[in-house]
Amino acid sequence: MNEQQRKESTQVNPSDKKSDKDYSQYFQAVYMPPSLKDAKKRGKEEVKYDGFSIPEEYRAMGQGKKFYIRTYGCQMNEHDTEVMAGIFMALGYEPTDGVEDANVILLNTCAIRENAENKVFGELGHLKTLKKRRPDLLLGVCGCMSQEESVVNRILKVHPFVDMIFGTHNIHRLPSILHEAYMSKEMVVEVWSKEGDVIENLPKVRKGNIKAWVNIMYGCDKFCTYCIVPYTRGKERSRRPEEIIQEVRHLASQGYKEITLLGQNVNAYGKDFEDIEYGLAHLMDEISKIDIPRLRFTTSHPRDFDDHLIEVLAKGGNLLDHIHLPVQSGSTDILKIMARKYSREHYLDLVRKIKEAMPNASLTTDIIVGFPNETEEQFEETLSLYREVEFDSAYTFIYSPREGTPAAKMEDNVPMEVKKERLQRLNALVNETSAKKLKEYEGKTVDVLVEGESKNNPDVLAGYTEKSKLVNFKAPKSSIGQIVKVKITKAKTWTLNGEMVEEAVEVN
């Protein structure tokens, strides 16, 4: 977005709205709403790289004030929240754990399924009372939902007490968006439909000091027919390897134990570089040399997962052999109308190659049931693929139509009861397989990165194995943040219980 467009983007006074008709005319004149149609376009323009700094005049903005951010959705959103928290802190705000004493509240939203959106609208309903009680409170909506025009219109109509809406492409503009919101009584709406530059040097306040996320790329160009992400996150843009490596080195020097490299389709990393031949395998290979005990990445797309990456991962060391490899369906026909661009056979072949190179690798996946017109036979192909791969676990979803995506226009003859019943059958298989896989751990000793007290019992510590299994065990609090050896005593459906047998394992 250029300066001109930025100026055109707007402040809307909800009280100016008389009827829906007036309201839309109002927008046409002065408002630059998010447009899914524009967001779909993929231009050839070069990605620019820019730095971040806070203008002098905003540096004291947050003095004596507190911020609260509620995050919905995926790790990318979680990480965006860390960036926004960093910006708030740089502006002098302090964090708070609840909405009650916050001066600014942000909802960092997710648009992936209808129920994700409903949660946010429900929360806005709750916050209305708080806002009435404390009119000076600033309330903002950001994240993926803000990128949808229907959402912005609904907020303007139903929740006009919201003070600011901004999108995923301009979170670095938070200081001036806040400034505008303070200065005007009107709702500030600044959503860029098209991605901007890749912004470096963003401040971050990370959640915890044990595990960290590092963005390696933004956006997605896959356009799976059911998915809203390519519209809400823009085209694929990779961060330069030297920036990523520098960030990981810095995290290592700060004592972080585990890094997860993030992107919606990390296997496409580097495909947009014009000056260098450099992909995820090169990046993993280089980062693996950094002294950090654990290195993961997410999310992989089966189509772009290449042999070079398998070769690099097979070297092991700090590269963990847990791969999240969303399959979505076991039916080639359904995969075709999902535009996943691989077949059942391709996926199984990839799994075979991964298992050959890394016999102990654990695989997890995402599955959608009840895609438009999915037949019983096609659904059973998903079950049979699940059995064949023997995934360690899976995130399973009922298909949710997303406005503006091709699948939303497909007629669908599968009744909701059938979809629900399929989800139940799939979940039964997922649970059964997980329990069986965890059972094999009983009596074995595993390395666990200790994250803290268990949620349900403060006398027990909790941490994750290399394969992302949650382990609860008794150990001294001093082991928090360390990798320790734990002997597994009991397997449950989703978690393991154990006893610590040895402290602080040195990795590398």
Q: At what angle do helices 416-439 and 376-389 cross, to 10 degrees?
A: 10
Compose the 164-183 pattern: x for residues touching ligand SAH by CB under 6 A, - for all others.
--------------------
**76 touches ligand F3S (CB under 6 A):** yes
**373 touches ligand SAH (CB under 6 A):** no
Q: What are phi and psi of 214, to 5 degrees?
A: -135, 120
**215 touches ligand SAH (CB under 6 A):** no
Among 79, 235, 237, 301, interactor with ligand SF4 by CB under 6 A: 301
**223 touches ligand SF4 (CB under 6 A):** yes
**396 touches ligand SF4 (CB under 6 A):** no
Nearer CB in complex with ligand SAH: 381/451: 381
Q: Which stretch binds ligand SAH (CB under 6 A): 1-9, 17-25, 203-211, 394-402?
A: 394-402
Q: Could you tell me the two tokens for 120?
A: 């946010």
CA gyration radius for the chain?
A: 24
Q: How far is the CB of 168 from ligand SAH (least distance, A)?
A: 14
Residue type at 310? Answer: I
- Tell me which residues in 313-332 interact with ligand SAH (CB under 6 A): 326, 328
- Tell me which residues in 102-161 interact with ligand SAH (CB under 6 A): 112-113
> 360 with 392: CB under 8 angstroms?
no
Q: Could you tell me the two tokens for 163?
A: 């003070």
Chain length of the chain: 508
In three-state secondary structure terms, 59 is coil
Q: How far is the CB of 162 from ligand SF4 (least distance, A)?
A: 27
Number of neighbouring beta carbons within 10 Å of residue 168 = 27
Residue type at 33? Answer: P
Residue 335 interaction partner, one of ligand SAH, ligand F3S, ligand SF4, none, beta carbon < 5-8 Å per kind: none
Strand partners, 106: 69, 140
CA pair distance 170, 79, nearest whole angstrom: 14
Q: Which stretch binds ligand F3S (CB under 6 A): 9-17, 109-117, 248-256, 291-299?
A: 109-117
Among 33, 73, 302, 481, interactor with ligand F3S by CB under 6 A: 73
Nearer CB in complex with ligand SAH: 81/298: 298
Q: Any idea which residue has 């971050």 for tokens?
A: 204
Size of residue set near ligand SF4 by CB under 6 A: 10
Upper half-sphere CA count for residue 61 (Cβ side, 13 Å):
24
Size of residue set near ligand F3S by CB under 6 A: 13
Q: How far is the CB of 358 from ligand SAH (least distance, A)?
A: 20
Q: How far is the CB of 488 from ligand SAH (least distance, A)?
A: 30
Q: Which stretch binds ligand F3S (CB under 6 A): 71-79, 172-180, 356-364, 367-375?
A: 71-79
Compose the 289-308 pattern: x for residues touching ligand SAH by CB under 6 A, - for all others.
----------x-x-------
Q: Could you tell me the two tokens for 463?
A: 């941490």
Strand partners, 107: 70, 141
H helices present in 187-236, as ranges: 229-233
Among 9, 71, 109, 265, interactor with ligand SF4 by CB under 6 A: 265
Residue 481 interaction partner, one of ligand SF4, ligand F3S, ligand SAH, none, beta carbon < 5-8 Å per kind: none
**Cis-peptide, bond into residue 299, ω within 30° of zero:** yes
Among 264, 329, 364, 479, interactor with ligand SAH by CB under 6 A: 264
Going across the sheet that includes 104-109, the strands are 10-12, 187-190, 164-166, 138-143, 104-109, 66-71, 94-95
Q: What are phi and psi of 302, to 5 degrees?
A: -60, -30
Among 111, 261, 389, 488, interactor with ligand F3S by CB under 6 A: 111
- Contacts with 393 (C-beta within 8 Å, 6 or more apart), sequence order: 364, 430, 433, 434, 494
- Contacts with 276 (C-beta within 8 Å, 6 or more apart), sequence order: 270
Nearer CB in complex with ligand SAH: 264/318: 264
Which residues contact ligand F3S (rule: CB under 6 A)?
73-74, 76-77, 110-112, 143-144, 228-229, 232-233
